[in-house]
Amino acid sequence: MSGDHPRLVVDRDVLVVRPEVRRQEPLRVWLDGHDGPWPVYRVELRLAGDRFTATAPDAFEALVRLRRQVEPHGWAVAVQGARRDAWPSGMARDMGGGLRVYVMRPGRAVTTEDDLVDTFADAPVDLLGTIAEQEAYRDAWHA
């Protein structure tokens, strides 16, 4: 790893929700460096006194891995990357580190102009889904 890593990419409070509970909690995303040619992204969420951390080759996948840890406790992270109708393209993952996702609309192709949003930007709670719901929506949209 070179001297410019880890590099903080996102540092903000995000809304984290579960039934009857809403709270702002600190979320950070780092580019830790590279494992050979592959980047290593790390997402960290402090939640109710606990620290959840996940790493992956792109920031979106690190978010998914982090969500796999908090979803069993009933928590959802209210960011665009956790919307049931959002998913990154392969190019957004490879070239952009998964820091942007597409909002998929039924019967319509996505465009970078209208549908590309920041993975860690705020998202409305009513648009959030579980990872399983998000994957099902992606699969249905592709079909």
Q: Residues 60-99: pLDDT tens digits?
A: 999 999 999 999 999 999 999 999 999 998 888 888 999 9
Residue 20 has pLDDT above 50, yes or no: yes
- Between these two residues, 37 and 23, which has the higher pLDDT value? 23
Say if residue 123 is exposed, middle or buried (CB neighbours under 10 Å; 0-12, 13-18, 19+): buried
Q: How far lies 71's CA from each of 35, 63, 131, in Å?
A: 28, 12, 9
This prediction has a pTM of 0.93
Report the pLDDT value the prediction gives residue 11, as an integer from 0 to 100. 98
Per-residue pLDDT at 3 exceeds 70: no
Please give the distance of CA 8 from its chain centroid, rounded to a whole number. Answer: 15
Q: Is the pLDDT of residue 1 over 50?
A: no
pLDDT at 40 over 80: yes
Long-range contacts of 129-133 (CB under 8 A, 24+ apart): 129/82, 129/83, 129/84, 129/85, 130/71, 130/76, 130/84, 131/64, 131/67, 131/68, 131/71, 133/84
14-23 average pLDDT score:
95
Please tell me whether residue 41 adopts helix, strand or coil conformation: strand
- Burial level of 121, CB count in 10 A (0-12/13-18/19+)? middle
Asked if the model's pLDDT at residue 2 lies above 60, the reply is: no
pLDDT tens, residue by residue, 98-115:
999 999 888 777 777 788
What six digits make up the tokens of 132? 């399983």
